[in-house]
Amino acid sequence: MIAVDPTPGSAAVRRGRGRAIGLLVARRFAFGVPLLLVVSLGMFVLAKASPFDPVQRYFGARIIGASAERVSQIRENWGVDAPVLTQYGAWLAHAVTGDFGDSHSLQQPVSQVIGERLGWSVLLLAVAFACALLLGVVLGTAAAWRQGGWLDRAVTGASYVLEAAPVFWLGLGALYVFAVALQWLPGGGLADPGAGLSAGQLVRHLILPATVLAVSQAPWFVLFVRQTLLEALTEDYVLGARSRGLPERRVVVGHALRTALLPFLTLLGARVPELITGALLVETVFSWPGIAKATVDAALNVDFSLLAALTLLATAAVLAGNLLADALYALADPRVALDG
Amino acid sequence: MAELILTAPADPSPRWRPATRSRIGTAAPPRSPRLRLISSALILGVLGVAVLLVPPVVGLDQQVVDLAVANQPPGPGHWFGTDELGRDVLLRCVYGLRVSLAVGLVAALVSTVLGTAVGAIAGATGGWTDRVLMRVLDAVASVPHLLLGIIIVAVLRPSLTAVVISIAATHWLSSARIVRSEVLSLRTRPFIDAAIVGGSSRSRIVARHLLPNVAPQVLLATTLMVPHAIWHETALSFLGLGLPPHLASIGNMLNDAQRSLLIGGWWMSLAPGLVLVITTLAVAGLGGVWRDRLNPRRRSELSW
């Protein structure tokens, strides 16, 4: 595991490292692009397998009175009776140019739906992720430092309970306490009705959903940091630092935590799916106008063009998260072998 | 050197602090496994008795609508209040937990069977089959599981079967990984060589030698899967994409309670969530103790 090169910081090593990371990115793309194709094809096959008929949905009860040729004309225009691969090919040809078709449920082009909503989701996710990370590192370190103390017991116990509690239930609780009973914060949306969208409004409306999402994600970070730090505190270099008489804070934060946080980096990327799952539920509770709300609406209305685009987006986000984490890890720790 | 260290505390400098607590060696688990085992088993026992016995004893009372006692906060007679149709929230929770537990158990079993089949085929066959199956596993793992579950339910339309399929299709990955790695390590053991030399066919080796040896790990994985499955069902039902309204699960109850919450009916959300948290912690506690016994080197935690 120890670096073989006698001068790990030398320019040649860094160049080699850069090339290795470039190869990693290339390999991931070689896996990711076909994967996205397979996922989108899978969506099409599923849509075909569904007993649900978009044309019947479009007509609703009016299909009884509609003339047969109008129905068949729409069937032909929409191409719903063509073979799956033909439909998929047509969709793919448009998708490459950024045109993902129209959303039946929202009566908008899919790209417009995503364009209008993605920013709000990313804002919510980024704020919540940063808060969860901060909570995790601070509380996890504090708990591991005094293992078995009252703080450790309180933090660990609360983490297990919070991990078992569904995020939407926490959301409902926060909604009731802070928006209904105390009326400190607004309970949903981006801005108060009538008030324009301003930074102050946005921050006030962001606090509840972001906090709930952060609190629901934090337990995993807390427990992870606590565990790795506890393991790091038993290592020889910590013993060495202690025996040199370094102050406790320096030993824990400067020596143990620094190395303990390295594997944490790769696992951050692995949390992207959980974050997306959490956001789906939190956005629903707080009527946050992000893409999660659109996903649920699309599913309820079997809006496959929107669902397909959103699934691709989520899959791409997961792959990007994994890649980013692995690349960061490789940059931060020169001992890591890049074989993934 | 040892003497030096032993005499050092006689003159403690302010910057020096002895590392007294057991930081050397592996950290001991904070709570005793026996206590955890007993409390988890007790809670699950009480819940199990309630879920199995209350419905036949009470009959269909939970469906009876009594608007005279609608929207009552917790108090004598109704410890956790009544909902907007005058039904007792705690009683409905028992019925809801019954549905949620049943769905969770069935879905966990189905996903384990699926995962075991995939893992055993991949591990025992190796080569291209293994590679392809593992890539499929990676592909499924890179779609967020609730999103995949939502898509499956959307395709099949919300129903009991759709929810079970949705959970099974998103949760088979972990048991597939476990079974594959176990099979891979078992394959190199002498008793497998002996079976091959003895002329056993590949399917016989899988059925008679490999699967019985992975069974404990698989059963453990199934147990730990149950809370996940219940969570998944609850989330889908909460989004309105799960069980039909007449099958009152915990998720459906929370979905109903959402409306009342905004006009102050907090108690309708409290009890279902608490029941869910307690059930999850109890199952995870039991599974955790079991895991620590089965794999002493792995730490116990709720990992999701």
Report which DSSP code applies to A81: T
Q: Which of A227, A231, A296 sits opposite B239 (nearest CB)?
A: A296
Q: How far is A181 from chain B (nearest CA, A)?
A: 7
Report which DSSP code applies to B84: T
The pLDDT, as a whole number, for residue B105 is: 92
Give the separation between CA A4 and CA B172, rounded to whole angstroms: 41
Give the separation between CA A39 and CA B143, rounded to whole angstroms: 9
Confirm or reject contact between A240 and chain B (CB < 8 A). no
**Cα A94 from chain centre:** 26
What token pair was written down for B19? Answer: 């590392």
The answer to whether A214 touches A131, Cβ cutoff 8 Å, is yes
Nearest residue in A to B150, CA atom:
A299
Give the separation between CA B164 and CA B285, rounded to whole angstroms: 24
CATH T-level assignment (fold) for domain A112-300 = MetI-like fold (1.10.3720)
What's the predicted TM-score (pTM) here?
0.80
Query: Which residues on neighbouring strands pair with residue A44, listed in sequence order?
Result: none
List, for chain A, all residue ranges whose pLDDT scores fall below the cut of 50.
1-6, 340
The pLDDT, as a whole number, for residue A266 is: 72
Give the separation between CA B267 and CA B286, rounded to whole angstroms: 29
User: How deeply is A110 buried, as exposed, middle or buried, from its count of CB atoms within 10 A (0-12, 13-18, 19+)?
Assistant: buried
The pLDDT, as a whole number, for residue A135 is: 92
Q: Which of A35, A46, A223 sits opposite B139 (nearest CB)?
A: A35
Report which DSSP code applies to A289: -
Asked if B146 lies within 8 A of A280 by C-beta distance, the reply is: yes
Contacts 24+ apart (CB under 8 A), B130-135: B130/B180, B133/B176, B134/B180
Confirm or reject contact between A12 and chain B (CB < 8 A). no
What is the sign, positive or negative, of the torsion defined by CA atoms of A233, A239, A245, A246?
negative
Hey, what amino acid is at B118? V
Give exposure, B104-136, as e/b (b: 16+ Cβ within 10 Å): bbbbbbbbbebbbebbbbbbbeeeeebeebbee
The answer to whether A155 touches A142, Cβ cutoff 8 Å, is yes
What token pair was written down for B42? Answer: 């007790």
Give the separation between CA A75 and CA A177, rounded to whole angstroms: 51
Question: Which of A92, A101, A93 shows the shortest CA–CA distance to A37?
Answer: A92
The pLDDT, as a whole number, for residue B164 is: 92
Give the separation between CA A289 and CA A313, rounded to whole angstroms: 17
Question: Which of A116, A106, A115 shows the shortest CA–CA distance to A296?
Answer: A106
The pLDDT, as a whole number, for residue B239 is: 87
What token pair was written down for B72? Answer: 């009552």
List the single best residue of B13, B32, B40, B147 to mutate versus A (max A Cβ within 10 A).
B147
Our CA dihedral for A85, A87, A93, A94, rounded to 10 degrees, sits at: -160
Query: Could you give the residue range(s) of every CATH 1.10.3720.10 domain in chain A?
Result: 112-300
List the single best residue of A33, A176, A285 to mutate versus B (max B Cβ within 10 A).
A176
What is the sign, positive or negative, of the torsion defined by CA atoms of B121, B125, B129, B131?
positive
Give the separation between CA B221 and CA B218, rounded to whole angstroms: 5
Contacts 24+ apart (CB under 8 A), B196-204: B202/B124
CA distances from A183 to A178, A187, B186 (A): 6, 9, 61
Question: Which of B29, B36, B33 shows the shortest CA–CA distance to B283?
Answer: B36
Q: Tokens 């033909």 sit at which residue?
A: A86
> What contacts A5, CB < 8 A, 6 or more positions away?
A13
* DSSP reduced 3-state for A103: strand
Give exposure, A136-165, as e/b (b: 16+ Cβ within 10 Å): bbebbbbbbbebeeeebeebbeebbebbbb
Task: For chain A, give the number of residues.
Answer: 340
Q: Which of A156, A164, A273 sits opposite B280 (nearest CB)?
A: A164
Give the separation between CA B244 and CA B162, rounded to whole angstroms: 11
pLDDT > 70: percent of chain B: 81
Question: Which of B119, B293, B115, B123 shows the shortest CA–CA distance to B192?
Answer: B123
Asked if B23 lies within 8 A of A49 by C-beta distance, the reply is: no
Question: Which of B112, B299, B104 shows the shortest CA–CA distance to B216?
Answer: B112
Question: Which of A212, A216, A223, A228 shows the shortest CA–CA distance to A274?
Answer: A216
B239 chain-A contacts, CB cut-off 8 A: 280-281, 284, 296, 299
The answer for A67, left when phi > 0, alpha when psi is -120 to 50, beta otherwise, is: beta
Q: How many inter-chain contacts (A to B, CB under 8 Å) are there?
A: 167
List, for chain B, all residue ranges whose pLDDT scores fall below the cut of 70.
1-32, 59-70, 77, 86, 296-304
Please report which residue ranges of B21-159 form alpha helices under DSSP H. 33-58, 89-125, 127-141, 145-156
Asked if A247 lies within 8 A of B15 by C-beta distance, the reply is: yes
The pLDDT, as a whole number, for residue B25 is: 39
B235 chain-A contacts, CB cut-off 8 A: 166, 168, 277, 281
Residues B107-148 pLDDT 10s: 999 999 999 999 988 988 888 888 888 888 888 888 888 888
A315 chain-B contacts, CB cut-off 8 A: 142-143
Q: How far is B172 from chain A (nearest CA, A)?
A: 16
Q: How far is A7 from chain B (nearest CA, A)?
A: 32
3-state SS, B5-22, equals HHHHHHCCCCCCCCCCCC
A276 chain-B contacts, CB cut-off 8 A: 144, 146-147
Q: How far is B209 from chain A (nearest CA, A)?
A: 33
| Other residues' Cβ atoms within 10 Å of the Cβ of residue A177 | 14
**Cα B257 from chain centre:** 24
Q: How far is B30 from chain A (nearest CA, A)?
A: 7
Give the separation between CA A180 and CA A184, rounded to whole angstroms: 8
Q: Which of A46, A153, A165 sits opposite B151 (nearest CB)?
A: A46
